[in-house]
Amino acid sequence: MSYPKELFHGDKGEVSGTLWKGGSAPDLVIGERSKVHYLATGESTGGQYGLYRWDMGGEPGGGPGAHFHRTMSESFFVLSGTVGLYDGEHWVNAAPGDFLFVPPGGIHAFSNPEGPASMLVLFAPGAPREAYFEELAEIVASGRQLSEQEWADLYRRHDQYMV
């Protein structure tokens, strides 16, 4: 394996870092259970990756059903609490410091089986996942009930294939 193609061609570095403060308010709240922090979106990283802090609160449970993505990998790093991680074959109660990498096509899911928990979620390359999260938040907030076909259309638009 070698280094990828150069992305910066200047002779000197530049001041271009972005700091996210840990106490910042979430960028999105989905119902009463999930708070999402957009640490680095696919747009802000030039499509290299998307990184989100996902805080799950409230009662145990929730999370997406088993699914896979065709265009991106997804990784999970547990920050606090217990996060249920599904690797396509087994559920594991992951603790702070535990990490799961899922390549494109890999079946996965997550939940918070014991109550409040927090994790980092990394998508690579960066995809516009915020649009998916925001659409979910709108559906939850409105109380709208989607048909099977509407769910299938939503998932397809956002590279999410349920199993």
Quick: pLDDT tens for 101-138: 999 999 999 999 999 999 999 999 999 999 999 999 99
Alpha-carbon distances, residue 44 vs 9, 48, 141 (angstroms): 19, 9, 27
What is the percent of the chain where pLDDT is above 70? 100
pLDDT band at 156 (very low <50, low <70, confident <90, very high): very high
* Res. 160: pLDDT tops 90: yes
What pTM does this model have? 0.93
pLDDT band at 63 (very low <50, low <70, confident <90, very high): confident
- Phi/psi for 73 (5° steps) reads -90, 165
* Res. 60: pLDDT tops 90: no
* Res. 32: pLDDT tops 90: no
Mean pLDDT for the chain overall:
95
Q: Identify the pLDDT of residue 80.
A: 97
What does the domain layout of the chain look like in residue ranges? 28-162
Query: How is domain 28-162 classified at the CATH fold level?
Result: Jelly Rolls (2.60.120)
Is the separation of the CB atoms in 69 and 103 below 8 Å? no
Q: Identify the pLDDT of residue 137.
A: 95
Alpha-carbon distances, residue 113 vs 60, 92, 117, 140, 145 (angstroms): 5, 10, 9, 21, 25
Question: Residue type at 135?
Answer: E
